[in-house]
Chain A
Amino acid sequence: MKLGRGPVLETLRRLWPLVALVAIVAAIAIVASFAPAVPQRRTTQALINLVAVVGLYVFVGNSGILSFGNVAFMAIGAYVSALLTMKSAAKSVFLPDLPQIIASAEWPALPGALAGGAVAAAVALVVGWPLMRLSGVSASIATFAVLVVGNVVFGNWTSVTGGQNSLMGLPAYVDLWTALGWAIAALVIAFAYQETRSALLLRASREDEAAAQASGVNVVLHRLRAFVVSAFLSGIAGVLLGHFLGIVRVENFYLDLTFLIVAMLLIGGRGSLTGAVAGTIVIALLTEGLREAEIGFQVGTTNIAAPAGTGDVILALLMLIIILFRPDGIAGGRELTWPFGRR
């Protein structure tokens, strides 16, 4: 039976990167579901990281501008969802000064998560409107400011966030399958977005901003759209992280996490969704290996182990090597292509 060049085949070819990536991610989750508890948790963590990296990719990959601020959106998502879904009793312990509406709210998981993403997106809309007018590098530094401001606000708004104290008692509903579900959703959203006309125009403006503007492309508007979608996904990632660990700590949403996510995206390749996935997987594997190395192994009576902190150094070194020798990352800016060729 010959496959003709029908519209079905064309659609499949276009959707192939998404289908392939979803399949890969699902396969990893399925394999992990047969593993003991600890590897399962690690895989869940990796899937949450995937959502975060995909969120970052949506903005960085399409606009060409590096954003350091996405972790602030993750924090927003985490805190909002926490506030809405935590049991009132827990909230009154940690956050006695909450306004009554929030203090008594006990939303189910999904609305809480969506609210977290939505608030992050709303903040991105407000903050992004002035920021997207800036040129590439200035905009990147400005997103750094977003990260710092977020950190300052969350760290000091004690009545709402608990300030420097950890916020504990979040319903820990994120298991392997929840994480997988959201990971797939993130891939679908990111893919759907990058196929839109707005994203296409944005990518065109990446090459030559002056030419794009001269052609009437409203670069600021398209950048803003990417920023908002990116913030939504980052917010979701934050929600997942919070409800996976069961606690939200402001210092967990700052420079180290930013570096990790940027490193994942960079190493995988910031120009494509495939790159985002590749980077997450590679770093997850690397982290596993390094974790084992830091635990060490027995040789006779001595334990040979890498000193704590080696993993971070190696990750930073890897990022440097990629930047110097293969700046487009593992995926090289390309998506997975339909393997069966054209007839």
Chain B
Amino acid sequence: MERLVQIVVDAVSVGSLYALTALGIGLIFGVMRLINFAHGELITLAAYTLLALSGMPVPVMIFGAVAVAVLLALLTERAAFRPLRNADPTTLLISSFAVSFFLQKLLILVVGSRLKGLDFLPALGRQTELFGVRLQLLQIVTIVVGIVLLVALTWFLKATRLGLHMRAAAEDFRMARVLGVRANNVIAVAFALSGLLAAAVSCLIVVQTGVVQPRMGLQLVIIAFVGTVIGGLGSLPGAALGGFLVGAGSILLQALLPPDLRAFREAFVFVAVVAILLFRPQGLIPARGLRERI
């Protein structure tokens, strides 16, 4: 029984991580129809910022990571994505792929490709007991952070003026502009928020793995992408759900699969993804306004 709860908590914790990652991706896709591969680099560079600031007080480290992620997000928007605002989706996809690789290779050039250890908030790695079940403190923190950020984001989108503008822009960008919604502001805010989410994920991952390496962000976002696709591209609840399912699913599979198949669990997850897409190509929670009117 305890084992079962541990597995469930692990699944929810990992699911939350992927949900947050997918949300960051979904925010940008919503307003710009851009799949931002470079989101992975936001996560990676936030982690390297933590590394660079290690030894400083924790709030300073976290603030640094957030600042770097947000600034980098805004910079990539301004330099690489704004000129391509009206390009077709494939061009946007290629450009984000190129930006991602550029940042990654630049990072490797500067810091090398070997992984580096980082002991960040080691206290969170402790075991704790909740309702008689032994759990890792980090798992609980991850779930709480996930819920808090999800709620905060939802509040922002539903209750603020800017959030309303973003939701409108995500559904019908041009009509929003006709009504006076400032395109540049909305997109910049979306990127900034995605930076914030990336920094949060980065901190959690660094605590969990204790390792910083140039590929870390990309590995996360590849799986998160697939999550947004099954959740429904363009739909934020869909992105969160899809990311969560993919993350939680891989943990559950790991627990359920026989030992010799466990290494293939990612393959199984993707097969499940393909199966879902077969029956619901528009995703689990499809976004409105995505289908073109004839």
A residues engaging B (CB < 8 A)? Answer: 64-66, 127, 130-131, 133-138, 140-142, 144-145, 148-149, 152-153, 155-157, 210, 214, 255, 259, 262-263, 266, 307-310, 312-313, 315-317, 319-320, 323-324, 327
Contact = CB atoms under 8 A, between A and B. Distances in A.
Given A130-B275, A137-B33, A327-B87, 19 more contacts: A64-B88, A134-B277, A134-B281, A137-B35, A138-B229, A141-B228, A141-B229, A142-B226, A145-B270, A148-B266, A149-B266, A153-B267, A210-B292, A255-B215, A308-B109, A309-B109, A312-B108, A320-B98, A324-B84
Given A64-B90, A137-B35, A317-B102, A145 B274 contact: yes
A130 B91 CA distance: 23
Interface of B: 33, 35, 80, 83-84, 87-91, 93-95, 97-99, 101-102, 105-106, 108-109, 113, 215, 218, 222-223, 225-226, 228-229, 233, 263-264, 266-267, 270-271, 273-275, 277-278, 281, 292, 294
A292 to B, nearest CB: 18
B7 to A, nearest CB: 21
Contacts of B90: 64-66, 136-137, 140
Contacts of A324: 80, 83-84, 95
Nearest to B81: A324
Task: Give 4 nearest A-B pairs by CB, closest first.
Answer: A316-B102, A156-B263, A312-B105, A309-B109
A320 B95 contact: yes
Contacts of B292: 210
Contacts of B228: 141
A314 to B, nearest CB: 9
A66 B93 CA distance: 8
Contact of B91 (A133, A148, A155, A327): A327
A253 to B, nearest CB: 15
A156 B267 CA distance: 10
A255 B222 CA distance: 11
A263 B99 CA distance: 12
A246 to B, nearest CB: 25
Nearest to B278: A130
Contacts of A255: 215, 218
A313 B105 contact: yes
B102 A309 contact: no
A320 B281 CA distance: 31
27 contacts: A133-B281, A134-B229, A136-B90, A137-B33, A137-B35, A137-B90, A138-B229, A138-B233, A140-B90, A141-B229, A144-B225, A148-B222, A148-B223, A148-B266, A153-B264, A155-B263, A156-B264, A157-B264, A210-B294, A312-B109, A313-B109, A316-B106, A317-B102, A319-B94, A320-B99, A323-B94, A323-B95
Contacts of B98: 263, 266, 316, 319-320, 323
B270 A137 contact: no
Contact of B270 (A149, A310, A317, A327): A149
A287 to B, nearest CB: 14
Given A130-B277, A152-B266, A137 B89 contact: yes
Contacts of B102: 313, 316-317, 319-320
A152 B264 contact: yes
B106 A141 contact: no
A144 B109 contact: no
Contacts of B109: 307-310, 312-313
Given A144-B226, A145-B273, A316-B98, A309 B278 contact: no
Nearest to A324: B83
A11 to B, nearest CB: 33
B278 A133 contact: yes
B251 to A, nearest CB: 16
B107 to A, nearest CB: 9
B270 A313 contact: no
Nearest to A259: B101
A138 B277 contact: yes
Given A145-B270, A148-B266, A153-B267, A259 B93 contact: no
Given A130-B278, A152-B266, A312-B105, A141 B35 contact: yes
B226 A262 contact: no
